[in-house]
Amino acid sequence: MEERGERKYVALTGYQEYSTGEMESRSSEFYLEMQKRRSVRHFSGREVPRAIVENCVKAAVTAPSGANRQPWHFVAVQEHALKRRIREYSEAGERLFYEKHSSLAWGKALKKLGTNASKPFLEVAPWLIVIFSQPYGISADGEKTPHYFVTQSVGIATGMLIAAVHHAGLVCLTYTPSDPHFLNEVLSRPSHEKPVMILVTGYPADSVEVPAITRKPWEDTVTFR
């Protein structure tokens, strides 16, 4: 271990270099795998072993973060009573949301996807992975520790979690309740944490269908200079 001032460095281990041809092949294979990923809203009740979910979350928490503060907390919910409470709170808020916004642009956009205030997937799916962000941490002596680039860091970790779930052979849905603050109380998380979303995770229901959507043209999404 090398010390440079207050910073400590260790040798990079685990990096594997590949030939250019193999790199192209690996990157193409990963793209083709991720291209198959689709969000679903109809889940099977089939059980998913905890070890699989643990591995997916372990992959997520390897994500880079601002100043390595790792400003996130994941709560993996399997208990049916908890899932039912989350559904009940969510649907109560969603009913108010749809009554208020159904005629507005946001409501019209959702209507095209066939969504409504009913969220049975919150109770049917075997796992709900609730993602919290931490604007700051609290040390053992009660002092606040600032976190940096929280939104970006949690977004990267969430993306890695979604990729891990898909790679494991499961499907998921990113869902954020219209008023998610109840999640702190239901899941006994401290008030300074902010619920970001619920990643509904499991197997797809039999004969599940997904919206017929398309992605933006390639040339509209990237520029090489």
Residue 150: give its domain's CATH number: 3.40.109.10
Indicate the number of domains in the chain. 1
Q: 41-56, pLDDT tens digit by residue?
A: 999 999 999 999 999 9
Instruction: Calculate mean pLDDT across residues 140-149.
Output: 93
Whether residue 33 is contained in a domain is answered as: no
CA 186 to mean position of chain CA atoms: 19
User: Which residues, 6 or more positions from 175, have their beta carbon under 8 angstroms from its beta carbon?
Assistant: 90, 119, 121, 122, 197, 198, 199, 200
Q: 19-46, pLDDT tens digit by residue?
A: 999 999 999 999 999 999 999 999 999 9
Whether residue 10 is contained in a domain is answered as: no
Question: How far is residue 182's CA from residue 133's CA, in Å, rounded to a whole number?
Answer: 15
End-to-end C-alpha distance for the chain, whole angstroms: 39
Single out the residue of 8, 161, 136, 164 nearest to residue 75, CA to CA.
Answer: 161
Instruction: Calculate mean pLDDT across residues 113-137.
Output: 93
Whether residue 195 is contained in a domain is answered as: yes
Whether residue 64 is contained in a domain is answered as: yes
Whether residue 139 is contained in a domain is answered as: yes
Query: What's the confidence (pLDDT) of residue 100?
Result: 76
Q: C-alpha angle 183/80/196, rounded to 5°?
A: 25
> The pTM is what?
0.91
| High-pLDDT (> 90) share of the chain, % | 81
Query: What's the confidence (pLDDT) of residue 95?
Result: 87
Query: What's the confidence (pLDDT) of residue 4?
Result: 62
- Inform me whether the pLDDT recorded for 1 exceeds 70: no
Whether residue 8 is contained in a domain is answered as: no
Whether residue 218 is contained in a domain is answered as: no
Query: What's the confidence (pLDDT) of residue 142?
Result: 87
Q: 151-209, pLDDT tens digit by residue?
A: 999 999 999 999 999 999 999 999 999 999 999 999 999 999 999 999 999 999 999 99
Q: Residue 181 belongs to what domain range?
A: 41-210
Whether residue 78 is contained in a domain is answered as: yes
